[in-house]
Structure 1
């Protein structure tokens, strides 16, 4: 047994202490895309297919919900209050499906947007899964996150008054969600080892639990591989400090053994424009390239813009083209069916 496999075994033992439901279809594939790598001038490009987690079109949140739904069931909840995003929220879709999977009634809270009237893409699936979808008009004095979280708390109070027992997931920025991506990171290291890859760099579209979990998994394995996260205006709300707090909470929850880290471990490249949840021209070009080179479909909001960011950062030299790259495909493909040519907002 190598030092890395020993560390993986220890980390898996720590994760096994947490209650978990087998909602996600795991492990997800790790695919090599040689033609796309050649097109981009990369030594090696592998795609971790987190879009294939199986539940309601899949996505990265399904793996996170393995742990979160176990907590909801343990709390003897009968209702799951979640959501928080815009009309085309991937998170809301996966939360509604996970609630149904374990026998809870989903109540989904969404931020009203210009596309609210269009029942297509994620919204169509969410409304198929959830009888109760609530809409929030954002108070100009609050952030979207604050306003929707406050709305979820009010919904939970209403449900309790009616004799229900709600479990409220105010945000996927949660240590149980990060634990799901500790699991994913360990899985990825094992898959790379099976391919003989012992050095890599990771690219993802996450500004939250997914990238924190991946970082902690690599650290627990003793691997100093860079994680290049792509996001929208990542310095606006002190994101690096929030990520450190989430990492601290996840380490405390799991008991993982990791080296010291600070905010410098959680830098994020700004490639989320022109606005949060809105497609970009660069993303559209990246999605077309992936589709026409390898038949690989990217969603127009998160993975397409992250892939475009990867291409740009390879060009800038901040991502090393000579070192194997793993692109984490976090899903979101239902948004493809909500586009009308004018741009579609997701969350």
Structure 2
């Protein structure tokens, strides 16, 4: 492997030749190819990680371009899934890195497969239900978890190591979130870049054998109002189901609802089918909807303000409502069981 492209990084004494070679033999799972995820992927691939596995369920829209650095207007024009658009860009940056892009939703059913053979998991998500799933899976399989969250001008990040630090559940209890999202109160790109950079920095320390330099704090900041705070990661919560009881509640399969409201997106995701034939559904819906089909998805505009976005893996986004009942009604009317 030609390491000359990393010469400036290797001149940084804590990494050096040995650290760079270690990095080139590691695999990272990045969950989410939105604001955080695109910055994370960009930095890891340029730094020379060995393999990057990336999963995202969404496609590129114009409002993403303000902060999601791997996308451009051509991606919007072609309705490219974020995972595919990101892979296209990343492979042009560094052909030495193996990029595995998955268009899909992270779930109890596939998390074991996604996390298999990875050295670290990085959080590029926008909701705590998925974060708890990642947290529980990482602690079950003893894999470090690089957590990050951002909204408005505020960011939060920590690097959790099973057996050495508490987990996400110890410091953020379920249901305690503010309810604010980037789609409701906005977000500025510098805050995104800062959170992602902290996530990647701790990851690089770990993967290059510099664990002694890890921060071991929950870092929070508001870049607009010039506030920064580090809270030392204390002992695990004695009542934590993950750290102390090894029960991993997010990994327990249950009869979950088929509908998922994508907060602030005016969208409900419905996942009833195991797969969807896009060509077949283009023919079915062509008489009643304006259709746009790509190799990855089908977008059907049923009426003004109401759209279906259908994916090969069986997911359907019902756009134009956040009411699961209304979304289910539209789904049943036009798509059925």
TM-score in terms of structure 1 length: 0.29
Higher relative contact order (CA 8 A, sep 6+): 1
Q: Whose helix proportion is higher, 1 or 2?
A: 1
Query: Which structure has the larger Rg over C-alpha atoms?
Result: 2
Considering fraction of residues, name the structure with more strand. 2
